[in-house]
Structure 1
């Protein structure tokens, strides 16, 4: 039973809208969370998202979440399911992730330690570009329909 229904069988849709995802106007995301989620998604078989959990309000915070980590809903209440946002949807014109072989090819005469350092620098530069490119809006699914909400990038 959703808080506010009083447990008396009152199924007033206006009350469920008070905490439902349709009331979300903006999502706050930390730039580092977006970069980390995108990197994990691109570099592994894991699906990593930014997740906003109920009860929903006009301004929500979405945090890093691996979908295979559990806790994606089914909490035994009538609360709506959490909203999952693909990090690719949050980044405009995401740059390609730097692959180790590409970095090594750029510096064929470098020793192994130097190549590792150069690749680490390339990855950090990629993360910085991703953090800078977090968009100002994103589409979220609400009741099977997509709608735009503002994105507030933190950090």
Structure 2
């Protein structure tokens, strides 16, 4: 069995909050400038805590050694639904012949669409994920932590 602190093959399970997975995936889908990942920070051991992390790109930042392992949040979701963009919500609202478009109605509809998307993502969180790095692929269990009710705000 590997024993080096940067060898993620010793990991048997990761614990991650549902909100970290959903927020990271949402950040990546909603056209923000930074990329969000779920990060495992060495030294690696059998049970690891994974956390939301924004990746710094294009600056002089150098990750520590041994380097953290990044998991694309979509890898933790089984068939993630498409993210509802505001312009799509507006188009759908304007297409309704019996509803007058207002900024307030658009806001409420879009907020409801995003809340429904978050709920759908939560219902599709995986029980395992494959870690990929310089030592190849390694599948681990995923333990989802926390109360998901705080996501819809």
Taking structure 2 as the reference length, the TM-score comes to 0.80
**Alignment-derived partner of residue 143 in structure 2:** 152
Distance of aligned partners of 1:115 and 1:153 in 2 relative to their CA distance in 1, 3 Å threshold: same
**Alignment-derived partner of residue 54 in structure 1:** 42
- List gaps (5 residues or longer) in structure 2: 95-99, 147-153
Q: Secondary structure at the match of 2:48?
A: strand
1:142: how far off? 4.3
RMSD: 2.2
How is 1:36-75 mapped onto 2 (pairs within 5 angstroms)? Answer: 36-43=23-30, 44-68=32-56, 73-75=63-65
Counterpart Cα distance in 1 of 2:13 and 2:135: 18
Name which of 69, 74, 78 aligns with 1:92. Answer: 78
Q: How many residues align?
A: 138
Taking structure 1 as the reference length, the TM-score comes to 0.79
Contact 1:22 1:142 in 2 (8 A): no
- List gaps (5 residues or longer) in structure 1: 1-12
Counterpart Cα distance in 2 of 1:15 and 1:63: 23
Runs of 4+ in structure 1 off by over 6 angstroms are 69-72
1:133: how far off? 1.0
Larger Rg: 1
